């Protein structure tokens, strides 16, 4: 669709503006659109890691209950439409064209131009209004307090966990970052979290100040079984215990599932009706591409978009679930991340490391990654590649039947890899 391509090119040019936190631009833009975000009930999901999984599980459960549910997540893996989903279906090209045209035209009337993410957020809100959704599950982009999504009036707020990430914008310590994440807490609106330690202390203090009920997901789940086809958890909810099966891999999914279940139970306490079995079916049917996703068994290829130290640690813990001989690591990381910290954690596990660069102006040079890998694992074999396709080819070339290829470091790297691997079958 040539007209859509032209509009998308116009949208992607806004990436040059970069990240500009603040709510003034998005508020003006939404005012021009008639504030579509006020047309439906919103569940607002922030935190450092696990946001996407929590959003998708909640969306899946509500859909099982017969509701029309909008889902806004970011970034996308392959194409923009992945960000805008209603009842499991991405926005169609003609719908995206219509909504994007309206939003860009509104943006042109503003003195200070909105950013790429602000336009994307407005597209989601307007698309969901047009589709007349009952609920919209909205993932925070970065931080919380000044994130473009924080113009909403949610019925529930969720803060998954708090770890060091985006330090140049959010701060260099857990307390500062927790304060930014807790910026999504609204007066009198329940907040659910799996944060711990100092981060939990900050969130608790802000929740008390805003008279917002705080519900912790900590200690509420146990893993009972796991395998390459999925796993089983017991979640101790507010009402009862749930035995839940999920295709999502990684032991940390117990935490994400628990937050989703607690949010759904809280909705039920607010009068949202859900037939029996919706939670079980919704958890079983939820998927999250690019996060602990086994895309091939011959050779074994695992995709995980871990892009900060906390997520890398969770990946390492989950790798214990996978039977393999040698680990072949494909690494592509953005230059504004804690590259040394990430590589320090995961490089020692690998027999081979293949460094690469995703198609992003923020990508770290492949050769720079090589030097950091050698520092933290002097005995592994390291290969530098120019792009993700070359890296995958090299990984397949050196892998043996019992090895595991793990592609990680960035959702941009994982998105490209996923497209390449599915294209080649």
Please state, in angstroms and as integers, the Cα–Cα distance from residue 386 to each residue in 341, 359, 367, 378, following that order.
Answer: 23, 10, 9, 22
CB-CB contact of 21 with 106 (8 Å): no
**pLDDT above 90 for 1:** no
Mean predicted confidence (pLDDT) in 151-180: 85
pLDDT band of residue 170 (cuts 50, 70, 90) is: low
Q: At what angle do helices 366-376 and 339-346 cross, to 10 degrees?
A: 50
Question: What's the distance, CA 386 to chain centroid?
Answer: 26
Q: What is the pLDDT of residue 15?
A: 82
Provide the pLDDT for residue 44.
Answer: 98
- 227 cis-preceded (ω within 30 degrees of 0): no
pLDDT at 423: 80
Percent of the chain residues past pLDDT 70, beyond the cut: 98
Q: Which residues contact 91 (CB under 8 A, 6 or more apart)?
A: 81, 84, 85, 99, 127
Instruction: Say yes or no to pLDDT of 165 above 90.
Output: no
Average of per-residue pLDDT across 148-173: 85
Tell me how far apart the alpha carbons of residues 242 and 237 are, in angstroms, rounded to a whole number: 7
Per-residue pLDDT for 18 more than 90? no
Residues in the chain: 425
In this model, does residue 21 exceed pLDDT 90?
Answer: no
Tell me phi and psi for residue 43, to 5 degrees: -110, 120
Q: Which of 127, 144, 167 is nearest to 36 (CA)?
A: 127
Order the strands of the 221-227 sheet from edge to edge.
Answer: 221-227, 230-236, 241-246
Query: DSSP character for 155?
Result: S
pLDDT at residue 13 tops 70: yes
Strands 84-86 and 89-90, bridge-based pairing: antiparallel
Six token digits for residue 14: 């806004």
**What angle do helix axes 93-108 and 24-32 make, rounded to 10 degrees?**
110
What is the rounded average pLDDT of the residues 202-216? 98
In tens, the pLDDT along 349-369 reads 999 999 999 998 889 999 999
pLDDT band at 166 (very low <50, low <70, confident <90, very high): low
**Whole-angstrom distance, CA of residue 278 vs CA of residue 57:** 11
Q: How much is the pLDDT for 361?
A: 87
Interval 52-69 mean pLDDT: 98
Mean pLDDT of the chain: 95
Determine the average pLDDT of the residues in 379-392.
97
The beta strand positions in 332-408, using DSSP E, are 352-355, 381-384, 404-408
Identify the pLDDT of residue 22. 86
Q: What is the pLDDT of residues 239-268, one digit of tens each?
A: 999 999 999 999 999 999 999 999 999 999
Q: 309-319 and 339-346 helices cross at what angle (nearest 10)?
A: 10
Q: Which of 345, 310, 349, 309 is nearest to 329 (CA)?
A: 349
pLDDT at 287: 95
pLDDT tens string 80-124: 999 999 999 999 999 999 999 999 999 999 999 999 999 999 999
Output DSSP code: residue 334: B
Q: Does residue 327 carry a pLDDT above 80? A: yes
Per-residue confidence band for 306, with pLDDT thresholds at 50, 70 and 90? very high
What's the token pair of residue 358? 């995703």
pLDDT of residue 17: 77
C-alpha to C-alpha distance for 51 and 142, rounded to whole angstroms: 11
Q: Which value, in Å, is the radius of gyration of the alpha carbons in the chain?
A: 21
Listed residue (137, 140, 103, 135) closest to 122, CA to CA: 103
Q: Would you place residue 184 in the very low, low, confident or very high pLDDT band (cuts 50, 70, 90)?
A: very high
Token pair, residue 196, equals: 């711990």
* Closest-CA residue to 191 (of 221, 162, 157): 157
Q: For residue 423, how many other CB atoms are within 10 A of its CB?
A: 8
* CA-angle at 290, arms to 139 and 228, nearest 5°: 120
When mean pLDDT is compared across 85-94, 224-233, 273-282, the lowest value belongs to: 224-233
Mean pLDDT of 135-146: 94
Asked whether the CA dihedral 245, 246, 249, 255 is positive or negative, the reply is negative
* pLDDT confidence band for 143 (50 / 70 / 90): confident
Predicted local distance difference test score (pLDDT) of residue 167: 56
Mean pLDDT of 304-312: 94
How confident is the model at residue 169, as a pLDDT? 59
Q: How many CB atoms lie within 10 A of CB 360?
A: 16
- Give the start-end residues of each E strand in 148-229: 156-159, 191-193, 214-216, 221-227
Could you report how far apart the first and last alpha carbons of the chain are, in Å? 26
What confidence tier does 2 reach under pLDDT thresholds 50, 70, 90? confident
Of the pLDDT bands very low, low, confident and very high (cuts 50, 70, 90), residue 425 is: low
């Amino acid at each position: 669709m040539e007209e859509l391509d032209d509009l998308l090119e116009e949208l992607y040019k806004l990436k040059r503006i970069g990240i500009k936190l603040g709510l003034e631009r998005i508020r003006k833009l939404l005012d021009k659109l008639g504030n579509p975000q006020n047309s439906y009930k919103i569940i607002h999901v922030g935190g450092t890691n696990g946001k996407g999984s929590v959003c998708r599980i909640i969306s899946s459960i509500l859909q099982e209950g017969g509701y029309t549910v909008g889902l806004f997540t970011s970034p996308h893996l392959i194409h923009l439409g992945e960000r805008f989903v209603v009842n499991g279906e991405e926005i169609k090209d003609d719908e995206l064209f219509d909504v994007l045209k309206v939003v860009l035209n509104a943006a042109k009337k503003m003195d200070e131009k909105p950013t790429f993410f602000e336009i994307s957020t407005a597209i989601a809100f307007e698309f969901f209004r047009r589709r007349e959704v009952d609920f919209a599950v909205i993932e925070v982009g970065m931080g919380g307090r000044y994130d473009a999504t924080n113009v909403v009036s949610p019925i529930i707020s969720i803060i998954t966990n708090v770890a060091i990430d985006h330090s140049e914008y959010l701060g260099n310590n857990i307390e500062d970052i927790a304060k930014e994440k807790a910026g999504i807490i609204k007066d009198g609106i329940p907040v659910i979290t799996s944060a711990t330690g100092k981060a939990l202390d900050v969130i608790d203090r802000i929740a008390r100040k805003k008279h917002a009920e705080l519900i912790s997901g900590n200690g509420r789940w146990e893993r009972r079984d796991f395998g390459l086809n999925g796993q089983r958890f017991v979640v101790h909810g507010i009402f009862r215990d749930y035995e839940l099966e999920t295709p999502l891999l990684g032991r940390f999914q117990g935490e994400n599932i628990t937050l989703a279940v607690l949010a759904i139970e809280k909705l039920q306490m607010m009068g949202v009706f859900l037939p029996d079995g919706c939670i079980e079916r919704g958890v079983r049917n939820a998927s999250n591409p690019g996060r602990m996703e086994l895309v091939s068994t011959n050779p074994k290829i695992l995709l995980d978009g871990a892009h900060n130290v906390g997520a890398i640690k969770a990946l390492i813990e989950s790798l214990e679930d996978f039977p393999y001989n040698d680990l072949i690591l494909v690494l592509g990381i953005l230059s504004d991340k804690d590259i040394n910290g990430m590589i320090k954690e995961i490089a020692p596990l690998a027999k081979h490391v293949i460094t690469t660069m995703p198609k992003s102006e923020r990508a770290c040079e492949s050769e720079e990654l090589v030097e950091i890998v050698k520092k933290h694992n002097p005995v592994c074999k390291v290969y530098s590649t120019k792009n993700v396709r070359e890296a995958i080819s090299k990984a397949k070339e050196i892998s043996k039947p019992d090895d595991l290829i793990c592609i990680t470091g960035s959702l941009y790297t994982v998105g490209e890899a996923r497209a390449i691997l599915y294209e080649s079958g």
